[in-house]
Amino acid sequence: MIMIRVLITILASLFSYSAVAAPIWAEKPIQCASPSEVFDRMDKDGLVPLFSSMGNARVENDIYTKMYAMLYNADNGKWAFIEFFDEETTCVIVVGEGVDFDVSQ
């Protein structure tokens, strides 16, 4: 009986081990254009700046400090995050719909 318990414990510990993988860098396409073109597109959806902040972006092996902004339409819940890559290039990082600012739930 003790041998069965030991065997079950060993087998359970072998199958419950999970490897922790190191993070990987993923490359994915994003849309970029001139700042005026990006803001014209955001205006079409009624998106207005909600906040902006400085953040870090990795480009190949270098880290750059860039400005980011969240734009939001309170009427329909649409939102977007944009990155000001340089003076001539602004990128739409992600868009979505459905924001809940109520943190009490």
Task: Pinpoint the alpha helices (H) of the chain.
Answer: 2-16, 35-44
Statement: residue 6 has pLDDT above 50 = no
pLDDT tens by residue, 65-96: 999 999 999 999 999 999 999 999 999 999 99
In the numeric block, which tokens belong to residue 83?
């990155």
Instruction: Place 100 in a pLDDT band, splitting at 50, 70 and 90.
Output: confident
Residues 6+ apart with CB under 8 A from 25: 58
| SS3 label, residue 1 | coil
